[in-house]
């Protein structure tokens, strides 16, 4: 993997805020229900089936093979905004909180975090592109099924923590009964660092690889957030802490701050794309090359 050089620093005045600070968390999602409700969501059957397939087929071998394939970055060459436009009609089957096209989710989360952190433009851009790896669903990228694109992520190669949503379906995963992979540490060691942990394959890790290999100057906190924002068992449930190193724990503060803007900004009220586009295009130009290898 290409190393990232000349990364922009995080301002000394930029302090990760607690969930109670700044952004006002709404009482309900776009459907008038509780957020991340996996028992009574109006989208329950769609969401549950997506996770069922994810938990059955995301094996250590599948992830290793798929990650190696997509690390070649030979699927397409396009700008960040061109990739955003590919998501104009994409609806995430794993999300119980909204059925709006993903381009709206990207802009809603970016605009929400922009209000609380007006001087931290790297955070605005991080929010804009955090789900951009969902282009994996597109024919240009092999039309991967949603169970290999969306949803919460988790480590493979060690035991599946019970905090993972729809954990029951892991019993059908070949790794579940494999003694090489079903212990607490599995193939890993205590404090090895998430950089050395293979995560279930999806949009998080893919966008991280794209950003890093194309020489973005976004700070390391941004890359960590992109890579692990869907790792809910870690940043929300406190699972897998024994795999983290000190750098992971420091960056985790930003993931937890980012999470509320990612989760609670989801709304049926649409952002005017053309109105905000010039601002975000200026950030893309600042932090990324004009064209990227995907």
Q: Specify the pLDDT at position 227.
A: 98
Please answer whether residues 241 and 193 qualify as being in contact, where contact means their C-beta atoms are separated by less than 8 angstroms.
Answer: no
Is the whole model's pTM more than 0.75, yes or no? yes
114 marked ligand binding residue: no
124 marked ligand binding residue: no
Please answer whether residues 218 and 287 qualify as being in contact, where contact means their C-beta atoms are separated by less than 8 angstroms.
Answer: yes
93 marked ligand binding residue: yes
Confidence band for 19, pLDDT divided at 50, 70 and 90: very low
Measured CA to CA, the distance from residue 37 to residue 168 in angstroms comes to 17
151 marked ligand binding residue: yes
Q: Specify the pLDDT at position 37.
A: 61
61 marked ligand binding residue: no
Measured CA to CA, the distance from residue 102 to residue 88 in angstroms comes to 6
130 marked ligand binding residue: yes
212 marked ligand binding residue: no
Confidence band for 1, pLDDT divided at 50, 70 and 90: very low
119 marked ligand binding residue: no
Measured CA to CA, the distance from residue 284 to residue 287 in angstroms comes to 5
Token duo for residue 43: 């989208």
94 marked ligand binding residue: yes
Please check the confidence at residue 29 and state whether its pLDDT lies above 50: no
What beta strand segments (E) does 127-188 contain? Answer: none
18 marked ligand binding residue: no
Which run of H or E residues covers position 113? helix 102-116
């Amino acid at each position: 993997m290409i190393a990232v050089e000349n990364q922009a620093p995080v301002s000394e005045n930029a302090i990760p805020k607690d969930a109670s600070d700044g952004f006002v968390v709404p009482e309900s999602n776009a459907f008038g229900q509780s957020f991340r409700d996996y028992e009574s969501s109006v989208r329950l059957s769609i969401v549950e089936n997506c996770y069922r397939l994810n938990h059955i087929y995301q094996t250590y071998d599948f992830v290793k093979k798929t990650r190696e394939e997509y690390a070649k970055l030979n699927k397409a060459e396009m700008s960040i905004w061109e990739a955003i436009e590919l998501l104009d009609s994409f609806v995430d089957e794993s999300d119980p909180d909204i059925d709006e096209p993903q381009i709206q989710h990207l802009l809603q989360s970016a605009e929400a975090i922009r209000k609380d952190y007006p001087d931290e433009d790297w955070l605005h851009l991080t929010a804009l592109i955090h789900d951009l790896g969902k282009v994996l669903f597109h024919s240009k990228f092999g039309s991967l099924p949603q169970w290999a694109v969306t949803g919460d992520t988790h480590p493979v190669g060690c035991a599946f923590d019970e905090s993972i949503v729809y954990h029951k379906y892991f019993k059908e995963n070949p790794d579940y009964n494999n003694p090489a992979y079903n212990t607490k540490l599995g193939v890993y060691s205590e404090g090895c660092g998430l950089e050395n942990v293979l995560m279930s394959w999806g949009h998080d890790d893919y966008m991280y690889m794209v950003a890093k290999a194309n020489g973005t100057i976004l700070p390391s906190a941004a890359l960590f957030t992109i890579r692990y924002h869907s790792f809910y068992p870690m940043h929300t449930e406190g699972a897998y802490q024994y795999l983290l190193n000190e750098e992971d724990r420091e960056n985790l503060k930003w993931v937890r701050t980012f999470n509320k803007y990612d989760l609670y900004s989801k709304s049926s009220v649409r952002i005017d794309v053309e109105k905000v586009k010039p601002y975000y295009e200026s950030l893309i130009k600042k932090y990324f090359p004009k064209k990227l290898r995907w």
